[in-house]
Amino acid sequence: MSTDIISSEPATGEQVWRGPVGDVGDTVARARRAWPAWAAQPLTNRIELMRRFANEVRREYDNLSHLIARETGRPLWDTRSEIDEVIARIEISIRSYAERTAQRRLDSALQGSSALRHKPHGVMAVITPASSPAIVPVAQIAPALIAGNTVVFKPSERVPATAELLVQCWYRAGISATVLQLLIGGADQGQDLVAHAGVDGVLFTGSAHVGIAINRRLAGNPGKVVALEMGGNNPIVVWDTPKITDAAVLVVQSAFAGAGQRCTAARRLIIKATMYDALIDEVRRLTERLIVGGPFDDPMPFMGPVIDNSTADGLTESFVYLLSNGGRAIKHLVRLDDAHPFLSPAIIDVTRMADRPDVELFGPLLQVVKVDDFETAIAEANATRFGLCASLVGGNPQDYNRFWAQVRAGVINWNRPTHAHAAGAPLGGIGLSGNHRPAAYYTADTCAYPVASAELDQPRAGLGIGLKDA
């Protein structure tokens, strides 16, 4: 039996990449051997290598964007925007390290000085999903390398070709092949990597059930730093606003961009009863206009397929379950191609469901709940074990202040899509969405630990009490 990993195009089924599964033990051992020399490099050298990496990505702009489109099925316009984010993320990571882990010194005359510096942890495992196969790993690898860690990068087995090209860009920039290593594999390799005694920290982005398993596996090892960036059952609340079309566009962008395969996508639309008919009509009308197609189609589609047929089957089953348990279809989920995982974006009203499943349906499936008052809207937004992001559309400043104060989420937006995110902001959630170690701008916090020092250039001490006469 072959142990090779194979990635295929969701849109066509054609093979993109094939290669052997990596050896976890050998990979971690090489990373441990490389760490002392890499950590001893001047920070300026490590930063310069990051900037060279950004230049290599610029050179591979077309190849990377096309490769991501092939491996994920996302439209080319969408994958190009991801490469733009990758390039921008390098300078953001450099600024983040300077701000979040800055060195500080306080002089105090005869008491000497106190200092705050940061040290790298050692070997960091970076484990990432298929949905954003370039920006998510770069946003974690770059801070880890800047801080002086070596990295073992284990991407989703669905996007190894993108991961390989990214790593080649790092190598051409001057990063040693032992400082950053690519570990190809599936769930077994991921589990072994997390538990390996030679790994000092884990940066994980992915589903809640895998993140929970990692948390349990490492619960007895407090010395290993773990940052979990997981998904969400994210609400978007639409309240009093005369701008129905704008509100509908924000809902559609939040729910269906990337075929709903973003951790920050809106899964639930909570809407004021008096606005229900007008908004739902506009959301449905706009959704019906969305083009679903292959990544290189002309005209260019708004969204492509989901990642694979098993995901498409699971979403179809979930829609049928909701429909069979009190849901009312506003726009049916339709399998557009029997052979490939193309789905039409779907909308279903679950207001009358007695027991709504609190799960992340990772795809183009939006659930709608109608409410009468703002208190109920907030209660519905919080009716989840997740807590990644939430958005309020409409309302007044007082409504937003109340929404911000009472909604449990790590990202809370107003009149912006759920996935809108400022470059200099953290990204992370609470509950099943994370473990209070946010990513993005705050990834630097997880990649180095603070060391406090009290210092004098010469020993100077005395005992002034409790001594017998000489």
Say whether 234-414 and 5-230+434-455 share the same fold: no
pLDDT in tens, the chain (470 residues): 358 999 999 999 999 999 999 999 999 999 999 999 999 999 999 999 999 999 999 999 999 999 999 999 999 999 999 999 999 999 999 999 999 998 888 777 667 889 999 999 999 999 999 999 999 999 999 999 999 999 999 999 999 999 999 999 999 999 999 999 999 999 999 999 999 999 999 999 999 999 999 999 999 999 999 999 999 999 999 999 999 999 999 999 999 999 999 999 999 999 999 999 999 999 999 999 999 999 999 999 999 999 999 999 999 999 999 999 999 999 999 999 999 999 999 999 999 998 999 999 999 999 999 999 999 999 999 999 999 999 999 999 999 999 999 999 999 999 999 999 988 899 999 999 999 999 999 999 999 999 999 888 888 888 889 898 87
**How many C-beta atoms surround the C-beta of residue 372 within 10 A?**
10
Q: Which residues are catalytic, by number?
A: 229, 263
Rounded-to-integer distance, Cα 112 and Cα 325, Å: 70
Distance of alpha carbon 417 from alpha carbon 433, whole angstroms: 18
Q: State the Cα torsion 29-34-36-38 to the nearest 10°.
A: -150
Tokens of 336: 């557009």
* 105, 114 Cβ separation under 8 angstroms: yes
Q: Which one-letter amino acid corresponds to residue 152?
A: V
pTM of the full structure: 0.95
Domain ranges of the chain: 5-230+434-455, 234-414
Domain 234-414: which CATH number of 3.40.30.10, 3.40.309.10, 3.60.110.10, 1.10.357.10: 3.40.309.10
Of 229, 308, 219, 234, residue with least CA distance to 266: 234
Residues in CB range of 71: below 8 A, 6 or more apart: 7, 9, 16, 17, 130, 133, 158, 159, 161, 162
Task: Give the architecture-level CATH label for domain 5-230+434-455.
Answer: 3-Layer(aba) Sandwich (3.40)
